[in-house]
Amino acid sequence: MTSYAELTHENPSRLKRFSHKSRFHRYCKFIGEASAGRTQLKLLDYGAGDGYLFAEIARRQIGSYELWAYEPVESQYLQLTETVSKLDLEVNLIQELEEFYCFDVIICAEVLEHFTAIEAVNHLTMIKNALSPNGKLLISVPIETGFSGFFKNIFRMLIGQAHSGTGFRDIFRSLFSKPKFRGNTGYIPSHVGFCHKNIEYLLIDSGFSIEKKYFSPFPIFGEFLNSQVYFSCTLRK
């Protein structure tokens, strides 16, 4: 079974490694800026995967935080446990998010694209309930439509890393942002058919204010030829 690291920040493709490491740079920058002038903050990585974010926090020596990781998927949780055990950091690992938890900063990185809109709303509700009144949230999802999605799918096919359900028809549908049925429920491993614009609407409908929207790895190009989009949010007053 391919590990999360091999799919992302340790991918054999130099271009994919660059793209994923760029997004972890963005997360760490957000975390550092959120802690400016403040101490004893609680940080949650919602859907922590293999815990690579904490490895980056340790490497960059970002302080001022009590660190928490929420990862309900057992296979990912095992990878998370292994990563954290090798770090000189204290990270609280949880597989259930209790109602009394409250965090000053929440990172939800490349999670919501793996769920239907209804389930994405459920996750956003959990995040909303866990975010402190003056807390900050950073959501990131991949861009899988338009020119970015078109070129990403072509590139994946060329290097033998096409996502499940990818056909030439799907690739051209992604170019024109045409919807694709992605299932009724459960975890969706493929990015094919995902539209990041829907997340923006769901954030607003779920009671968040989007303070800033930006892209990576080349912010100047916006949605064109970028891999990820980020939504920096607070709770709507």
Question: What domains, with CATH codes, occur in the chain?
Answer: 4-235 (3.40.50.150)
Q: What is the rounded distance in angstroms from the CA atom of residue 40 to the CA atom of residue 111? A: 26
pLDDT digits (tens, 9 = 90+) for 86-130: 999 999 999 999 888 999 999 999 999 999 999 999 999 999 999
Q: Say which amino acid occupies 193.
A: G
Is the CB of residue 44 less than 8 Å from the CB of residue 136?
no
User: What value does the mean pLDDT take over residues 184-203?
Assistant: 86
Q: What are phi and psi of 164, to 5 degrees?
A: -60, 140
* Distance from C-alpha of 18 to C-alpha of 13, rounded to nearest angstrom: 9
pLDDT confidence of residue 82: 95
Per-residue pLDDT reduced to its tens digit, 119-171? 999 999 999 999 999 999 999 999 988 888 888 878 787 878 777 767 777 77
Indicate whether this model's pTM tops 0.75: yes
Pairing of strands 65-70, 131-142: unpaired
Percent residues over pLDDT 90 in the chain: 59
Is 201 within 8 Å of 222 (Cβ atoms)? no
Amino acid at 195: C
C-alpha dihedral over 176, 233, 95, 1, to 10 degrees?
30
Element (H, E) at 158: helix 146-158
* 111: phi then psi, degrees, rounded to nearest 5: -120, -50
Query: For the chain, what is the mean pLDDT?
Result: 89
Q: Determine the Cα–Cα distance for residues 122 and 124; give it in Å rounded to an integer.
A: 5
